[in-house]
């Protein structure tokens, strides 16, 4: 989901000019396995959706039924949007048990670990898929990871972010500024960046900034060791959201090395900042950038990533990055808040009618 997952600036989605609803507001509960204290992708998605779904009546909970749902005389929740098939499975099962037909009003939103790991073997994740009236994936390759019999109830909703103006950057012949954003955990494959930084140790005027907290302490140790060995690499830890966006906006290129993604928000943030992406060739990235995108490397291939970064510094580096930027710009309209809001309102409307 929101792959940046760094400390928020408390930003809000502007809903002042959103159109009025044609029907009465729906009571919606969003189940997020993590809340504001974690400030990770699930929470960022949940709070953005709460804003985009206004003026529906939306609250975010970690587990359902919560105190509000159990309050005597409280109005009944009409729609549940459950983020993460496995980690929200208890809430999904509780919701289904209270509905006459089980699936009424229920959508399960699938993350990268859902699609590309948990649903293959975890019974609770599989049960969430079966119980849901609708399944939501966050990039165009997502339905391909699901069993064929579930695709008919699956829809793609691209996430969104605010667009920032592209800034003027020096020629890559002068220097190349690279950024990678994401908390340090195995799924994000920071090891690929560490190894590439060492391969590029002698490369002049190539600077790598790495943003993200060390969720795995061993990976934090590896980041510190890489910084000590490679003067061209800096690990900056977790950064506020606005600072992270500025880093992305000013970089020549963003590296996204993940092994598993449901739809990386940081890729969209780069595209909407005028910064091209070098990305691992995994379904979650293909579903955002397109099959024909020119900036892919094999997952875990540090040498392939290093070669692409050398190409950015080569004599035709500016032209090649311009090509990647043009391809990214073609994808940008997919990630507008207006499009995401329209898709969410349609999802809620369809779930409400089915109920």
User: pLDDT averaged over the chain?
Assistant: 91
Residue 11 pLDDT level (bands cut at 50, 70, 90): very low
- pLDDT > 90 in the chain, percent: 81
Q: Evaluate if residue 33 carries a pLDDT over 90.
A: no
Q: Evaluate if residue 9 carries a pLDDT over 60.
A: no
> What's the pLDDT tens digit per position in 212-253?
999 999 999 999 999 999 999 999 999 998 999 999 999 999
Residue 42 pLDDT level (bands cut at 50, 70, 90): confident
Determine the Cα angle at 221 with ends 218 and 224, to 5°: 155
Domain boundaries, the chain: 27-160+337-354, 176-334
Distance between CA atoms of residues 18 and 341, nearest Å:
9
Architecture of the domain defined by 176-334: 3-Layer(aba) Sandwich (3.40)
The first and second tokens of residue 327, run together, are: 């391809």
Q: Evaluate if residue 5 carries a pLDDT over 50.
A: no
- For 230, phi then psi, to 5°, come to -125, 100
Mean pLDDT of 306-326: 96
pLDDT at 112: 85
27-160+337-354 and 176-334: identical CATH topology: yes
Residue 19 pLDDT level (bands cut at 50, 70, 90): low
> What's the pLDDT tens digit per position in 78-117?
999 999 999 999 999 999 998 887 778 999 999 888 999 9
Residue 202 pLDDT level (bands cut at 50, 70, 90): confident
Mean pLDDT of 45-69: 94
pLDDT at 44: 84
> What's the pLDDT tens digit per position in 285-294?
999 999 999 9
pLDDT at 7: 42
DSSP string, 76-107: PP-EEEEE-TTTTHHHHHHHHHHSTTS-TTEE
Global pTM value? 0.89
- pLDDT > 70 in the chain, percent: 91
Q: Evaluate if residue 68 carries a pLDDT over 60.
A: yes
Residues 6+ away with beta carbon under 8 Å from 290:
327, 330, 331
Instruction: Name residue 255's beta-bridge partners.
Output: 180, 278
pLDDT at 73: 80
Domain 27-160+337-354 has CATH 3.40.50.2000: yes
């Amino acid at each position: 989901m929101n792959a940046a997952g760094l400390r928020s600036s408390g930003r809000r989605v502007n809903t002042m000019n959103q159109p009025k609803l044609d029907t009465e507001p729906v009571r919606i509960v969003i189940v997020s396995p993590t809340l504001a204290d974690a400030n990770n992708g699930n929470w960022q998605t949940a709070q953005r959706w709460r804003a985009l779904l206004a003026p529906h009546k939306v609250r975010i909970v970690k587990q359902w039924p919560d105190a509000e749902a159990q309050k005597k005389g409280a109005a009944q929740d009409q729609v549940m949007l459950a983020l993460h098939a496995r980690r929200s499975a208890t809430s999904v099962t509780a919701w289904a048990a209270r509905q006459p037909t089980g699936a009424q009003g229920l959508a399960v939103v699938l993350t990268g670990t859902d699609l590309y790991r948990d649903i293959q073997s975890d019974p609770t994740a599989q049960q969430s898929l079966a119980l849901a009236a609708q399944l939501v994936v966050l990039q165009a390759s997502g339905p391909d990871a699901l069993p064929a019999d579930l695709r008919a109830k699956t829809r793609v909703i691209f996430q969104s972010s605010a667009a920032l103006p592209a800034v003027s950057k020096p020629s890559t012949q002068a220097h190349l500024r690279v950024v990678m954003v994401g908390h340090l955990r195995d799924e994000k494959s920071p090891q690929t960046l560490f190894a590439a930084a060492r391969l590029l140790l002698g490369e002049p005027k190539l600077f790598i900034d790495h943003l993200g907290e060390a969720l795995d302490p061993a990976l934090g140790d590896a980041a510190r060791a890489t910084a000590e060995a490679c003067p061209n690499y800096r690990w900056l830890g977790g950064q506020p959201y606005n600072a992270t966006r500025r880093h992305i906006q000013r970089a020549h290129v963003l590296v996204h090395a993940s092994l598993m993604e449901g739809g990386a928000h940081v890729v969209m943030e780069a595209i909407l900042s005028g910064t091209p992406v070098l990305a691992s060739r995994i379904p979650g990235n293909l579903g955002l950038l397109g099959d024909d995108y020119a900036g892919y490397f094999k997952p875990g291939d540090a040498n392939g990533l290093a070669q692409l970064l050398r190409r950015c510094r080569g004599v035709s580096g500016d032209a090649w990055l311009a090509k990647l930027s043009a391809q990214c710009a073609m994808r940008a309209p997919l990630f507008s808040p207006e499009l995401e809001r329209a898709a969410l309102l349609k999802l809620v409307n369809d779930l409400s009618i089915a109920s």
